[in-house]
Amino acid sequence: MKLVRWMIAIVVVLIAAPFVFLYLMQDRLLYPGAEAVETFGDLTVTRPDVTLRGWVLHPDASDALIVFGGNGMSLSGFASRLGQCSDRAIYLLPYRGYEGQAGKPRERDLVDDGVALVAEAAKKHANVALAGISLGSGIAIQVAAETHPQRLLLVTPYDSIANVGREAFGIPLDWLIRDRYDTTVTVSRLGTVPVYVLQANNDQVIGSARTEALVRSLPQPPVRWEHVATGHNSMLRTEAFCQALRF
């Protein structure tokens, strides 16, 4: 009997181990962060629990573009590229815990920070557009649902983090994940916001099925849905990405 019990215990441990690992490591996997910068720019967004700092490129432009980056993206590192691609006033506010920013990233906080950033940009610019890259597309969609910006650009977007994780790890993760980013639930509140989708044909991180599921859930077809022959991380270096920032 003892042998049987030991065998059952071993089987249970082997089955449970990957779930326990993913539960404990999910924050590090979803929010790996980005290296701290020496200095921030003049952008300041004061929240009830933290003061966030960032940069504004082309601050005197009449129209603004707020960029929500990917989960491991350094906004400061891509600032030059973004500034070359668009002459809008580009607002870059690293997530909590990223690039030396105070706080810890949580889905609801990041969305609320984004809404506050839109309000800040709207004080100075006639039109405010949003761009969400990878993880940031899930944040941008929720912010857009609350603020209804002029336009919304989604770069390598997805339908939910649970579905992305299931494809990556081959196991159901819905009941494990804290920050779900269920974008298909939120998009119904976008109304008539024009949406531009940029999809990587060779994306090894977010499968085409995840982007297509999101597009199908939009309240109206995207004004443009472009497929680019590139990978997930190389998308930002393509001319298609640069042109999309000018939409």
In a domain, 36, yes or no: no
pLDDT of residue 90: 98
Q: Which of 86, 135, 84 is nearest to 114 (CA)?
A: 135
Could you identify the residue written with the tokens 């350094």? 74
CA 81 and chain centroid, separation? 18
| Those residues with Cβ within 8 angstroms of residue 216's Cβ, 6 or more apart along the chain or in another chain | none
Identify whether residues 18 and 46 lie together within a single domain.
no
Evaluate whether residue 143 is within a structural domain.
yes
Mean pLDDT by 10 residues, the chain (247 residues): 46 44 65 91 96 97 97 94 96 97 96 98 97 98 98 97 84 77 95 97 94 97 96 95 93
Residues 89 and 195 in one domain: yes
Token couple for 37: 């910068």
pLDDT confidence of residue 15 = 42
In which domain, by residue range, is 83 found?
Answer: 41-244
The CATH number for 127's domain is 3.40.50.1820
CA distance 241 to 154: 10
Same structural domain, 67 and 182: yes
User: Do 196 and 230 reside in the same domain of the chain?
Assistant: yes
Query: Rounded CA gap, 108 and 179, in Å?
Result: 8
Which residues are bridge partners to 228 per DSSP?
Answer: 200
- Number of structural domains the chain divides into: 2
Please indicate, yes or no, whether residues 53 and 157 belong to a single structural domain of this protein: yes
The DSSP string of 118-130 is HHHHHTT-SEEEE
Q: Does residue 60 sit within a domain?
A: yes
**Cβ contact 111:139 at 8 Å:** yes
Residues 22, 55, single domain; the answer is: no
pLDDT of residue 170: 73
Q: What pLDDT is recorded for position 8?
A: 45
DSSP 147-175: H--S-EEEES--S-HHHHHHHHHSS--TT
The pLDDT, as a whole number, for residue 29 is 77
One domain for residues 118 and 176: yes
Residue given tokens 């974008």 in the structure block? 183
**According to the model, what pLDDT value does residue 123 have?**
97
Per-residue tokens: 19: 């779930």
